[in-house]
Amino acid sequence: MIRGDASDRPWSDRYWDVLAQNGGLERLLSGFLPGRDLEFNIADVLDHEKRAGIVCALTALCVACRSYVGVGDPVDGNIILPPAASWGKTRDGQGRWMDRALRESLFKVRGRSGVHPNHAFASITRAE
């Protein structure tokens, strides 16, 4: 159970709360599993480990449906993100905010390849 105010929560729990309230998690699930209904209210899942299990299942669905964005390198592998179509738009409405953030981070990570040699080969992979 989460204790304290929102500022004490891990960032992943804050993201969960927003996506559970605005229907983002259910939209992702229904996009991958059309015509199926959850037997529980996703906003009622409060346990961090249970939330993590649902996120792992969603990640597997993204990969199985070949609808995801991967960030990483060929040696260490990728972190799988939901499809870009599910990301929020920038404030000016000219694209997705995460696209800009990933490109900026990729440039910085590649520039620090002396710290970790595999970072020189970092990439963003789209399967959409």
Mean pLDDT of all residues in 54-65:
94
Which single residue is written with the structure tokens 């792992």? Answer: 56
Is residue 88 located within the same domain as residue 124? yes
Segment among 68-72, 95-99, 122-126 with least mean pLDDT: 95-99
Domain extent, residue 61, equals 1-65
pLDDT of residue 41: 92
Strand, helix or coil for residue 125? strand
81 Cβ partners below 8 Å, 6+ apart? Answer: 62, 68, 69, 70, 71, 98
Residue type (1 letter), 27: R
Per-residue pLDDT at 79: 94
Pair 98, 127 in one domain? yes
Kind and range of the H or E run holding 20: helix 11-22
Hey, which residues does 125 pair with through a beta bridge? Answer: 70
70 and 34 fall within a common domain:
no
Kindly state whether residues 112 and 101 are assigned to the same domain.
Answer: yes
Task: Give the pLDDT band of residue 8 (cuts 50, 70, 90).
Answer: low
The verdict on 9 and 56 lying in the same domain is: yes
Question: At which residue do the structure tokens 């404030």 appear?
Answer: 91
Class of residue 84 by CB neighbours under 10 A (exposed 0-12, middle 13-18, buried 19+): middle
Which of 50-59's residues contact partners 24+ apart within 8 Å by CB, and which partners?
51/12, 51/13, 51/16, 52/12, 54/25, 55/12, 58/25, 58/28, 58/29, 58/32, 58/82
19 and 42 within one domain: yes
- Summarised one tens digit per residue, pLDDT across range 65-74 is 999 999 999 8
Same-domain status, 10 and 36: yes
pTM value surpassing 0.85? no
Specify whether 18 is located in the same domain as 72. no
Q: How far apart are the C-alpha atoms of 49 and 109, rounded to whole Å? A: 30
Are residues 123 and 71 both part of a single domain? yes
Of 18, 49, 65, the residue at which a domain comes to its end is 65
Q: Are residues 75 and 60 in the same domain?
A: no
Between 113 and 68, the more confident residue is 68
Whether 61 and 34 map to the same domain: the answer is yes
